[in-house]
């Protein structure tokens, strides 16, 4: 059932990521790098400020609810805390808009101010919906979770495409985002009231704070580490460079949906196994999940590293070729991070938030130092490539520290089969490079020929070397069986 839950979450996450990617495609092609960079810069600032609305309480709610006790009281506690944090976030945004002109020579234009206000409204709706998505994820009710997260892109992306094609203003594009998050909130409320869950009394503050406070730094760090690089590129390089960097980053976020889906499902599952006294099964489950992620992701990562310019220019236009070196670095970094996500879930599940916080503080500190040294023109001036280098190095350090901890917790450091899987993907990519010399193609034809060819060679190799067995194929086919998947969704939504 975990496999089907992972696949269902993967389907939902991938559909959401695909819809977002379609939106990015039209925004980059019709707005151009500069306008798109301005939009992304505003989103990055607001995402960084909105971190106050989490502060570890989202993870605390998943952890405590997954333990299965007094869920109605825990939901009420989480709701009250979330609303208070959102109020604090609104105050911080207002203070930022008032104080920024006195703190920086980089003036925020009237249009950017309007964008920031619009995205404040977007995050208010989004944060309210998060109350319910975290609740359903903790209860391992993946179908309900997927219905909610899909509601936003289903509305936002078509509006964004229409506005981009008709060369609408950035303010109008921002309003499309608001429509998406409002739809997500409405869907969350509908699903919640149909679920039969009750809201109890908010009397579980102590157990929430005991888990959330130590990892509040993690919530801040994870958000800032994926957004401050864009903010700094905008401040020290250009808004156009922000657009280039974000195009590569968004592409990798879509790929990383596979790792995120598996890690998100295993967190509450690991927590439940520990509560039931079944710690001995965690190592085996971790290695199985890591191997599954590698098998699915390795060829995609290899293609991004070998053909970065072809991918970027085909999807976003010839002007985005500048982001090719950044995409190569980010592809490698995201591969490491996806494989590491399942291990980091262990640290949360073993109720070690302070340990998780120390790892992320170290990661964030290194990332910020490297960004400030590598990005600004007054130092090394590597712009978006510098940001990608910083992200890659800091992710590598975080992965090493995480494995040291999980090695002591469950004896799990790395599934050794990851090495031949990765080398096989590299060999498949090398064969396609040879094909390119024989049959040079560019643009969409290049992607349509080289990508399927790489996948074909890869799966022939992994099957021929028994890295992928017939049992694996049967298992995957059973997991993705549409009839069984529909039956599972219906049973969960109706129960």
DSSP state of 55: T
Tell me the backbone φ, ψ of residue 247, rounded to 5 degrees. -60, -45
* pLDDT confidence of residue 482: 52
* pLDDT confidence of residue 5: 53
Nearest to 127 by CA among 182, 45, 176, 63: 182
Structure tokens given for 202: 């908010």
* pLDDT confidence of residue 324: 92
* pLDDT confidence of residue 205: 82
Residue 138 — pLDDT band, cuts 50, 70, 90?
confident
Distance of alpha carbon 412 from alpha carbon 405, whole angstroms: 9
* pLDDT confidence of residue 355: 86
Distance of alpha carbon 6 from alpha carbon 269, whole angstroms: 11
Highest mean pLDDT among 134-138, 177-181, 355-359, 362-366: 177-181
Tell me the backbone φ, ψ of residue 105, rounded to 5 degrees. -80, -15
Q: How many helices (H) and strands (E) in the chain?
A: 19, 0
Q: What is the DSSP string of 118-150?
A: HHHHHHHHHHHHHHHHHHHHHTT-HHHHHHHHH
* pLDDT confidence of residue 423: 95
Alpha helices by DSSP H, listed for 317-417, are: 324-349, 353-374, 383-409
Contact 1, 202 (CB under 8 A): no
Q: Is the pLDDT of residue 353 over 80?
A: no
pLDDT tens, residue by residue, 47-97: 888 888 888 888 888 877 777 677 888 889 889 999 999 999 999 999 988
Distance of alpha carbon 129 from alpha carbon 369, whole angstroms: 34
Q: Is the pLDDT of residue 18 over 80?
A: no
Residue 227 vs residue 159, higher pLDDT: 159
Q: Is the pLDDT of residue 2 over 50?
A: no
Residue 10 — pLDDT band, cuts 50, 70, 90?
low
Q: Is the pLDDT of residue 3 over 50?
A: no
Token pair 């970094």 is found at 333
Distance of alpha carbon 163 from alpha carbon 160, whole angstroms: 5
Q: Is the pLDDT of residue 492 over 50?
A: no
What's the whole-number mean pLDDT along residues 428-452? 91
pLDDT tens, residue by residue, 151-187: 888 899 999 999 988 888 888 999 999 999 999 999 9
Lowest mean pLDDT among 151-160, 257-266, 308-317: 257-266
């Amino acid at each position: 059932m975990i496999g089907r839950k992972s696949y269902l979450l993967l389907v939902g996450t991938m559909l959401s990521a695909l819809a977002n990617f379609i939106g990015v495609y039209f925004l980059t092609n019709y707005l151009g790098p500069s306008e798109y960079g301005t939009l992304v810069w505003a989103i990055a600032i607001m995402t960084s400020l909105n971190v106050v609305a989490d502060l570890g309480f989202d993870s605390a709610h998943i952890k405590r609810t997954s333990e299965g006790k007094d869920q109605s009281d825990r939901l009420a506690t989480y709701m009250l805390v979330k609303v208070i944090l959102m109020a604090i976030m609104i105050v911080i945004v207002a203070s930022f808009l008032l104080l920024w002109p006195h703190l920086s020579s980089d003036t925020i234009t009237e249009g950017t101010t309007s964008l920031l206000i619009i995205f404040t409204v977007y995050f208010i709706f989004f944060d309210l919906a998060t109350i319910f998505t975290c609740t359903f994820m903790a209860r391992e009710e993946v179908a309900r979770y997927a219905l909610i997260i899909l509601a936003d892109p289903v509305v936002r992306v078509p509006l964004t495409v229409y506005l981009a094609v008709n060369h609408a203003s950035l303010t109008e594009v921002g309003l499309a985002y608001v429509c998406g998050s409002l739809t997500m909130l409405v869907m969350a409320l509908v699903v919640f009231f149909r679920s039969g869950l009750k809201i109890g009394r908010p009397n579980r503050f102590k157990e929430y704070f005991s888990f959330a406070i130590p990892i509040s730094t993690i919530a801040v760090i994870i958000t800032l580490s994926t957004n401050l690089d864009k903010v700094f590129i905008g401040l020290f390089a250009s808004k156009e460079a922000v657009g280039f960097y974000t195009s590569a980053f968004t592409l990798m976020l879509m790929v990383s949906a596979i790792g995120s889906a598996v890690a998100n499902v295993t967190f509450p599952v690991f927590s439940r196994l520990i509560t039931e006294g079944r710690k001995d099964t965690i190592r085996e489950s971790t290695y199985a999940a890591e191997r599954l992620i590698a098998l699915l992701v390795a060829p995609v990562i290899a293609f991004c590293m070998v053909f970065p310019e072809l991918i970027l220019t085909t999807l976003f236009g010839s002007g985005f070729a500048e982001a090719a070196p950044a995409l190569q670095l980010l592809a490698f970094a995201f591969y490491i991070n996806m494989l590491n996500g399942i291990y980091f879930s262990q640290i949360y599940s073993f109720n070690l938030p302070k340990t998780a916080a120390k790892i992320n503080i170290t990661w964030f500190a290194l990332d910020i130092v490297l960004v400030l040294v590598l990005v600004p023109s007054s130092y090394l001036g590597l712009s978006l490539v510098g940001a990608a280098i910083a992200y890659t190095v800091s992710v590598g350090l975080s992965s090493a520290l995480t494995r040291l901890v999980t090695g002591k917790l469950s004896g799990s450091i790395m599934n050794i089969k990851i090495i031949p899987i990765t080398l096989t993907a590299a060999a498949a990519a090398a064969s396609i490079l040879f094909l390119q010399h024989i049959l040079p193609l560019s643009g969409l034809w290049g992607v349509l020929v080289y990508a399927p060819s790489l996948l074909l060679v890869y799966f022939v190799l992994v099957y021929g070397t028994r890295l992928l067995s017939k049992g694996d194929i049967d298992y995957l086919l059973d997991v993705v069986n549409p009839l069984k998947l529909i039956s599972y969704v219906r049973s969960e939504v109706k129960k």
